[in-house]
Amino acid sequence: QVQLVESGGGLVQAGGSLRLSCASSGRTFSSNAMGWFRQAPGKEREFVAAITWNGASTHYVDSVKGRFTISRDNAKNTAYLQMNSLKPEDTAVYYCAADRGPGGTRPDAYEYWGQGTQVTVSS
């Protein structure tokens, strides 16, 4: 069983930065693909970024390319999402997710989910 705990959310002004962390329990973190998703009120959960088990490959939704960076530290069982140049439209609950397979951009590809952390960007 894998448990994921996000942290690092908060309130920030437009143009600011936040770094989200996703701490994973269990022994399988280093073999799991990791993803970040977000969900704004009244909207469906949206893919943000993903990273392969070894960090060799990353993928981003177009709206965050050049502003967000996904990374991982397998020695610490932790994944990160560095968010720069934040915009009000980035406001959402951010979730990390883990997949024993290749991961990807679809939420249903991921087996384990954290509880989410709120990110609010003021204009």
pLDDT tens track for 53-80: 999 999 999 999 999 999 999 999 999 9
pLDDT band at 112 (very low <50, low <70, confident <90, very high): very high
Round the average pLDDT of the chain to a whole number and report it. Answer: 96
**Going by C-beta distance under 8 Å and a sequence separation of 6 or more, which residues neighbour residue 40?**
46, 91, 92, 93
pLDDT at res. 73: 96
User: pLDDT category, 101, cuts 50, 70, 90?
Assistant: confident
Q: State the Cα torsion 9-12-17-22 to the nearest 10°.
A: 0
Predicted pLDDT of residue 28 = 87
pLDDT over 90, % of the chain: 90
Counting Cα atoms < 13 Å in the Cβ hemisphere of 106 gives 4
The answer, yes or no, to whether residue 1 has pLDDT greater than 90, is no
Render pLDDT for 26-49 as a digit per residue (tens, 0 to 9).
778 988 999 999 999 999 999 999
**In percent, how much of the chain has pLDDT > 70?**
100
Alpha helices in 1-123 (DSSP H): none
State the pLDDT at residue 24. Answer: 95
- Read off the pLDDT band of 86 (50, 70, 90): very high
Q: Are 96 and 34 in contact (CB under 8 A)?
A: yes
